Structure 1
Amino acid sequence: MGALQGKTALVTGSGTGIGRAVAERFAREGARVVIADRDAGAAEATAGAIGETAHAAVMDISDEESVSSAFASLEAAGWAPDVVVANAGVQLFGQDAKAADLDLEVWNRTIGINLTGTFLTVKHAVRSMRSQGGGSIILTGSPTGLNGEGAEFTAYSASKAGIHGLARTVAAAYASDNIRVNTVVPAYTETTLVTTISSDPESRKAIVGRIPLGRAGTPHDVEGIMVFLASDDGAFATGSLFAVDGGMTML
């Protein structure tokens, strides 16, 4: 029996990358998994690869009506999640910049998706979980929200710092409702989100050189901690930040 047997988990941004890897692992651990993504094709493809224990849901996390409708539809269909991984986000390479050079539109778009979108996901997850007697919410953070790693990415770094603070605030507010909220911080992880870096040997060498374990992260590196936090083994963990970053934030 898997660690998540009997649970239903929703993972945002799970059409690709870290979200897809986590959703697939959750399914292998026995959970029913909602593949939530604004790209309907990617969501359907991931759900199809997992099989009958997966359900595709189109969700644009920056649009509250989209988020609200998705949660309502899932509840009506018997797929209300007791685990939610708020993972979806953007990093606007070539547009995000140091503060004095950052265009307001880029700031607003990044914050709107990463921070406001995470807030909306959490808001409706909490509403759903309160009626079910509790649950586990897991946010995807970043080293850029903890140290100077994101000096060239003001909007992205600020959005992730906001996510870290949001997790602690919501954890404190809803602990009495048996809702746990934690943040997982991956290292630089090679997915389609960071092809600008991974396709440039010098840029890649520079960032991997700042990881003490000496390699880039992969989506599979964060699966284990996500399973722990989603499972009953993590029942006493809330309001915490779990770095799975090869030592990147210890320096």
Structure 2
Amino acid sequence: MTRLEGKTALVTGAGTGIGLAVAERFAREGARVVIADRDADAASLAVATIGDAARAAVLDISDEQSVATAFADLEAAGWAPDVVVANAGVQLFGHDAKVADLDLEVWRRTIDINLTGTFLTVKHAVRSMLSREDGRSGGSIILTGSPTGLNGEGHDFTAYSASKAGIHGLARTVAAAYADRNIRVNTVVPGYTETTLVTAISSDPEARAAIVGRIPLGRAGSPADVEGIMVYLASDDGAFATGALFAVDGGMTTL
């Protein structure tokens, strides 16, 4: 399991959930991993779990100075990433709503973190990949999307769904813009994946049964279900994949 040997990967939102699972898998595959998270304690715990192959970067993806400083610090330390997973995001259960009922501040907070934060992560990832001291350019950038950005599944979550649709479009645009510099940009689209992000659903038996009942494979996803496609896209196995959406959703988007 050394498909990422010699690579350095940065994963945002890696203190918990999908981000943590991906970071741990990347390390097992031979990569050095940067645990990027706003929660310093969660990032430190993840680093302690992974060991010497990991280091923490505490940053707020919605703050450009924070993102720029994190990349500059990594470059100075010899940890410039070959792979960036823009995974951090929020879903504001109990506040996000159908459009007529949606408060502007909920919209702004969701877009600021999910879409603007992803944009800033991608912006500075591309800059870093274009300015390597060894003269090489190129790398793999992976964004985390959602089925709600592809269909009407998330009609009760207007801000979240719109932010994820924007992420899907951002990935395609950046992929086309930098393909000639060997920077690949793809989107992984997890379905209902049980992490702390969706506790409002997973802790409600009726709500959970309703959503799992719409998954053709008949079960909820777990962070481990997402690791494999992330490794593929981060590795040289995915060298001809760019601008694509890879659904890992138990078949939700087939319906």
Secondary structure of the 1:36 match is strand
Shift of 1:178: 0.6
| In structure 2, C-alpha distance between the alignment counterparts of 1:8 and 1:59, rounded to whole Å | 18
**Counterparts of 1:19-168 in structure 2 under 5 Å?**
19-132=19-132, 133-168=137-172
Q: Name the amino acid aligned to 1:29.
A: E
Shift of 1:70: 0.2
| In structure 2, C-alpha distance between the alignment counterparts of 1:44 and 1:163, rounded to whole Å | 28
Paired residue for 2:247? 243
Q: Name the amino acid aligned to 1:232.
A: D
| In structure 1, C-alpha distance between the alignment counterparts of 2:126 and 2:74, rounded to whole Å | 14
Q: Percent identity?
A: 84
Q: Name the amino acid aligned to 2:88.
A: A
| In structure 2, C-alpha distance between the alignment counterparts of 1:230 and 1:215, rounded to whole Å | 27
Paired residue for 2:182? 178
| In structure 2, C-alpha distance between the alignment counterparts of 1:55 and 1:96, rounded to whole Å | 34
TM-score, normalised on structure 1? 0.99
Shift of 1:89: 0.1
TM-score, normalised on structure 2? 0.98
Shift of 1:229: 0.2
Any runs of at least 4 consecutive aligned residues in structure 1 with deviations exceeding 2 A, and if so which? none
| In structure 2, C-alpha distance between the alignment counterparts of 1:98 and 1:177, rounded to whole Å | 41
Q: Deviation digits for residues 48-105 of structure 1, max 9, x if unmatched? A: 1000000000010000000000000000001000100000000000000000000000
- Range moving further from structure 2, 19-28 or 131-140: 131-140
Q: Name the amino acid aligned to 1:246.
A: G
Paired residue for 2:194? 190
Q: Name the amino acid aligned to 1:206.
A: A
1:169 aligns with one of 147, 170, 173: 173
Could you tell me which runs of 5 or more consecutive residues in structure 1 were left unpaired when the two chains were aligned: none
Q: Report the count of equivalent residues.
A: 251
| In structure 2, C-alpha distance between the alignment counterparts of 1:128 and 1:178, rounded to whole Å | 13
2:236 aligns with one of 223, 232, 239: 232
Shift of 1:124: 0.1
Q: Name the amino acid aligned to 1:236.
A: F
| In structure 1, C-alpha distance between the alignment counterparts of 2:156 and 2:222, rounded to whole Å | 23
Secondary structure of the 1:189 match is coil
Shift of 1:131: 1.7
| In structure 2, C-alpha distance between the alignment counterparts of 1:67 and 1:162, rounded to whole Å | 20
Paired residue for 2:209? 205
Paired residue for 1:216? 220
Q: Deviation digits for residues 202-242 of structure 1, max 9, x if unmatched? A: 00000000100000000000100000000000000000000
| In structure 2, C-alpha distance between the alignment counterparts of 1:66 and 1:157, rounded to whole Å | 26
Q: Name the amino acid aligned to 1:234.
A: G
RMSD: 0.5
| In structure 2, C-alpha distance between the alignment counterparts of 1:60 and 1:39, rounded to whole Å | 9
| In structure 2, C-alpha distance between the alignment counterparts of 1:38 and 1:63, rounded to whole Å | 11
Could you tell me which runs of 5 or more consecutive residues in structure 2 were left unpaired when the two chains were aligned: none
Q: Name the amino acid aligned to 1:224.
A: G
